[in-house]
Structure 1
Amino acid sequence: MGESQPKLPKKVYKAELFRLQTEFVKLQEWTKHTGARVVVVFEGRDAAGKGGTIKRMAEYLSPRVTRVAALPAPTDRERGQWYFQRYIGHLPTNGEIVLFDRSWYNRAGVEKVMDFCTPQEHSLFLRQTPIFEQMLIEDGIILRKYWFSVSDDEQLRRFRSRLNDPVRQWKLSPMDLESVYRWEDYSRAKDEMMVHTDNTLSPWYVVESDSKKHARLNMMSHLLSTINYHDVDRAPVKLPKKPVYSGNYERPPRELANYVPDHVAALLGDRE
């Protein structure tokens, strides 16, 4: 990992994050307008900050244009398919962006380390992946691959912080513990993956992520810098100064509807 960096002021972080999010809205509109197809692959160790970065990127984007693909474990039927087959179904059509929260590179990481695939399947994956990605790029897909790199100490600290956090406990699983005990195995698997799949046509970009805020801003800024997007003119929208009604509508009596109880009133009452 890089040397320790000074703490980023919260105000600076929020201002730059919002600026980048505004640019991602522009990227989205450009993608819709031009019919571009964008694929961003997020990989890295557990607790490296991939999900948090995706969340900030997609916060103001339309789910009809920008989709997050986070595939569960393969079904028995999917295990019998060509390995890349189930990922192909999640690739974008014209005017779409797909963010892969983990991807076909599962085979190079967890499947390799945990013996979920055979050595022959792993070797075949390493041979086929550059060809598969070349096909995507030659067909016009804009493909970007990011590896989030976190130190062993920071990963363990993040795991511990999840242990007693009621809203993040679901992020901690027995598989996560394996990533601690098998740190060197994962490191060797990642190094082998990079040797075979980091190339000029489809390079890996490494994001140092011991600082989540730095990682988010660095990754988002870099991604935007690699795509030649531009502002798209939008049709002007003109709103009336006030709603115009015909006067022929009469609202049904309030008691006929099932309203949600006023939970907030109870909270306010507790403060009195």
Structure 2
Amino acid sequence: MVELRKATKGRRMSKKTRKKSSNTTGKRVATKVARAASASTGKSATKTRTTVAKKAAAKAAKTKSVAGVQEKALHKAASKPLKPKAAATVTKSSSVTLTEGAPAPGFDLPRDGGGSVSLKDFAGKKLVLFFYPRADTPGCTREAIDFTRLKSEFIATGAEVVGISADTVKAQESFRNKHQLSVPLVSDPAHQMLEAYGAWGEKSMYGKTFMGIVRTTVLVDSSGKVARIWRHVKVDGHAEAVLEAARAL
């Protein structure tokens, strides 16, 4: 009986131990599951926060980019003149006054393509000298193209055509090549010829005065004297008017 009671008590204790062990294991498993869930939730929350932060940063960058583009557009629009640029007006001509009937001032200056051009090169011929403010600007380009277009007709009258500005020889060559000009282009950066022919003077624009080239054309006859002078030239139809004057000589 005593042995039976011990065996029964042993079985009871074994069940109790197993139950306790089972409860402990269950708690451990539950704890692990809870920790895993918590970790998963933490990672998910961190990931969510990171995603939200990235989206916010991207949105901010996009907003900044759009603002920058708008600011540039506004700046560009504000930079555009509201009215066409006014032409400079001449307030004071060169101190040298060239008159019709006077001997044409001599010159010897470098030209596009190398070499130089001298008044002596045209002895016994009529000569058209057109002075323009700056190579490759709209008005000067049209004028040079017009004289090039009529070059053969000028030659038929016994006249040669030469363009002069204060641009460098390199700039004259670029001007010639870009627009396929065939008339010689003389470079006078020191303004010696420009002043001698009265094509250099004080100009005014927007209330400011400065020295610059006055668009001028001079027709020299075959004897080397000044036959005609055109000052403050308007480009449209000008080359044709000079051609008619050359034919009349």
TM-score, normalization: structure 2?
0.25
Of Structure 1 and Structure 2, the greater strand share is in 2
Kindly indicate whether structure 1 or structure 2 has the higher relative contact order, using CA contacts under 8 Å at least 6 residues apart: 1
Larger radius of gyration: 2
TM-score, normalization: structure 1?
0.24
